[in-house]
Amino acid sequence: MFDLQTPKQPSEDAIIVQNVSKHFRIPHEKKTKLFEHITGALKGTTSTYEEFWAVKDISFTVKKGETLGIIGENGSVKSTLLKIIAGVLTPDSGSVKVNGKIAPFLELGVGFNPELTAEDNVQLYGAIMGMSKKEMEDKFEEIFEFAELPRFRNMKLKNFSSGMYARHANEAAVVPLAMITRG
């Protein structure tokens, strides 16, 4: 009646990740204009950055036919690792080999300007919502604490992981709430 066959084991690796590491530089102060960089260099004050290792020395293989799930808390580099595998980001060290095609759909596209910092995007969104600069400054700490992103407020959004981007989008929801509570 039925011919039950044992499934064939995949013989070829679909994804090979070997000793992959990726880091980002988180600025301690905001310098967005060339003038600010030049005056800082003339004064002898250079920009300071914190080295943030998002992925460090990760290795694994996925055989053809296997499924891989990456599970973790917000900020645990799931999206960064997927972007490296998809070729959207390049690793600082290590290698990734993909046998086959990958079609990544990782970005949320929530409408922020990726070239601006998180702080600038919040200010812009607040201005669009009709808040004054003072009202925004009064709510800044609350907004960034809500999103659990105060450390990254001077980082450009293009360097955020998808999870951080989503939390930043949620912090934008605090802006309308701040408008409701203003006097």
pLDDT in tens, 16-65: 999 999 998 887 666 666 766 677 667 766 667 788 888 999 999 999 88
Q: 93 and 19 in one domain?
A: yes
Are 89 and 142 in a shared domain?
A: no
Residues 91 and 51 in one domain: yes
CATH code, domain carrying 43: 3.40.50.300
What pLDDT, on the 0 to 100 scale, is given for residue 96?
95
Same domain, 90 and 19: yes
- What pLDDT, on a 0 to 100 scale, did the predictor assign at position 57? 95
Whether residue 38 is found in the same domain as residue 90: yes
Residue 93 lies in a domain: yes
134 shares a domain with 90: no
- Share the mean pLDDT of the chain: 75
User: Which residue range forms the structural domain that includes residue 149?
Assistant: 118-181
Centre a 10 Å sphere on the Cβ of residue 74 and count the other Cβ atoms it contains: 13
* Number of domains the chain contains: 2
Query: pLDDT value at position 111?
Result: 59
- Residue 2 pLDDT: 46
The C-alpha atoms of residue 84 and residue 76 are separated, in whole angstroms, by 14
Residue 47 pLDDT: 65
Residue burial 136-158, b: 16+ Cβ < 10 Å; e: rest = beebbeebbebbebeebbbbbbe
Q: Which residues in the chain come in under a pLDDT of 50? A: 1-4, 6-7, 10, 105, 107-110, 175-183
- In this prediction, residue 11 carries a pLDDT of 57
Residue 89 resides in a domain: yes
Does 59 lie in the same domain as 17? yes
Please check whether residue 3 lies inside any domain of the structure.
no
Output phi, psi for 8, to 5 deg.
Answer: -75, 140
Q: Is residue 31 part of a domain?
A: yes
User: Phi/psi of residue 148, each to 5°?
Assistant: 60, 40
**Which pLDDT score is estimated for 42?**
72
Q: Fill in the DSSP letter of residue 174.
A: H
Check whether residue 87 and residue 144 sit in a common domain.
no
pLDDT at 32: 63
Q: What are phi and psi of 77, to 5 degrees?
A: 70, 20
Question: Would you state the pLDDT for residue 109?
Answer: 44
Residue 171: inside a domain: yes
Q: Do 85 and 133 reside in the same domain of the chain?
A: no
The predicted structure's pLDDT at residue 60: 93
Strand ranges for the chain from DSSP E: 13-27, 49-63, 93-98
